[in-house]
Amino acid sequence: MSIRTSSRLFSSTISRSKPVSIVNGKSKPLKFTDLKTIKLREPIIPTKKNFDVSSEHPLWQFFANGSNTTESTRSFNDMSHGREWSLAELRRKSFEDLHKLWYIVLKERNVLAREAVAVNGPYERSRNAQFDAVDQKLLNTHKRIKEVLLERQVAYERVQTLGDKQQEYLNDFAERYINSSNDDISLFNEKLVRLQYAFFGIQPSLDDYDLKEDINVKFVEGINYIANLKISRYFKQNPEAKESFGELNGVKEELPFLLYDIDTAIQQVKDLRASNESIKLDKIDVLPYLKSTISTFIENEQQ
């Protein structure tokens, strides 16, 4: 036996013997003896059981069912998909409703976009025709909301450029308003709200009032127009009241017609006259009076 063979034999006997280390006074095998006999373990799958996620975590909004989500994507049947909103429907909605609707649709589009990535993979464009169809409906709704808002802006701007025709239009509207029947009055009132915003900048909702900016000369003109319009219609229906009531005397008597309905407003004017508080204000006092009265009214409403 050569020296080389003997040394190889020696080293092989060493590697076969179980390596044992003495640590902390205990003897332990701290090495794998034979790699061929190791029983490999299955990969350990991560689990979400190890931690809690708040059900109010904002990222849940990317899932249709929020924190109750069990699957990463919905099946097409689970998706509640109807038709898109039509222009005619959207035109009837207020700004607040459109604002809410915009964000509801946006959220839904985000959920869909996340699901499309889960289905198609990160580097692929959407290949799922059904997802695309739903997304297209939502996109159309978005486009129409923009279109409605644009229409309103255009209408507002057009009114500003009407010039001499403004008065003509206002007179025409007043005539139609005064002669309207009881069935049509609610429609006309809605129209009046839009008109007062377009012509005089009077916001439809009390919450939107910016007391510093919005209450100006135009606003005073608007109150005058609205009050006369409403009282004229009232006199047309109750001719006997006209002589005893007389004409409205300045801003103090006109303001109730903007804030209250016609019967309450008339009662308030009567109370004012009874208590001798109905004075025609000097021009310099008009705007401060309106600001203080409207702000107290808004506070009372909120309470």
Partner 1 sequence: MPPKLSSEKRMRKFLIEHLKTRRIFGARIAEGEKTVKELARLNMAPQVFLFKNLFSGQVLYSQVPAYHQQQIDEQFLRPNWQNRKPSRRNDYWRIMCVATFDNYEYAVAAYKGLVDLRKTRDVVQKDVAQSLRRKNDDGNIWFQGQYRPTYTQEAVADLAHVIDEFELENTKLTWENEWRRGEDKFWRNDLIEHDTLPPFNAKLQTAMLDELRIKALEEFGKLREQEESKNTEQIQQSEQPVIA
Q: Phi then psi for 215, rounded to 5 degrees?
A: -90, 105
Please report where in the chains the tokens 């109730």 appear, as a residue: 256
**By the rule CB under 8 A, 49 interacts with partner 1:** yes
* Binds partner 1 (CB under 8 A): choice among 1, 3, 14, 45: 45
Distance CA 138, CA 119 (A): 19
Angle, vertex CA 223, rays to CA 251 and CA 253, nearest 5? 30
How many chain residues are in contact with partner 1, going by CB under 8 A? 26
CB of 38 to partner 1, least distance (A): 5
Distance CA 167, CA 199 (A): 10
Question: Token pair for residue 189?
Answer: 């009132």
Positions 111 through 170 that interact with partner 1 (CB under 8 A): 121-123
DSSP H helices, the chain, are: 3-16, 87-91, 95-120, 129-160, 164-178, 185-200, 211-214, 217-237, 239-245, 250-259, 262-274, 283-302
**By the rule CB under 8 A, 47 interacts with partner 1:** yes
**By the rule CB under 8 A, 50 interacts with partner 1:** yes
* Binds partner 1 (CB under 8 A): choice among 11, 12, 29, 205: 29
**By the rule CB under 8 A, 21 interacts with partner 1:** yes
* Segment interacting with partner 1 (CB under 8 A) among 25-33, 164-172, 207-215, 280-288: 25-33
* Binds partner 1 (CB under 8 A): choice among 8, 28, 57, 100: 28
* Segment interacting with partner 1 (CB under 8 A) among 46-54, 202-210, 216-224, 257-265: 46-54
CB of 26 to partner 1, least distance (A): 9
* Segment interacting with partner 1 (CB under 8 A) among 41-49, 62-70, 192-200, 233-241: 41-49
Q: Is 191 exposed, middle or buried (0-12, 13-18, 19+ CB in 10 A)?
A: middle
CB of 14 to partner 1, least distance (A): 16
Distance CA 210, CA 215 (A): 8
**By the rule CB under 8 A, 67 interacts with partner 1:** no
Amino acid in the structure at residue 179: N
**By the rule CB under 8 A, 51 interacts with partner 1:** yes
Q: Are 174 and 231 in contact (CB under 8 A)?
A: no
Chain residues in the site for partner 1 (CB under 8 A)? 21, 23-24, 28-32, 35-36, 38, 40-51, 121-123
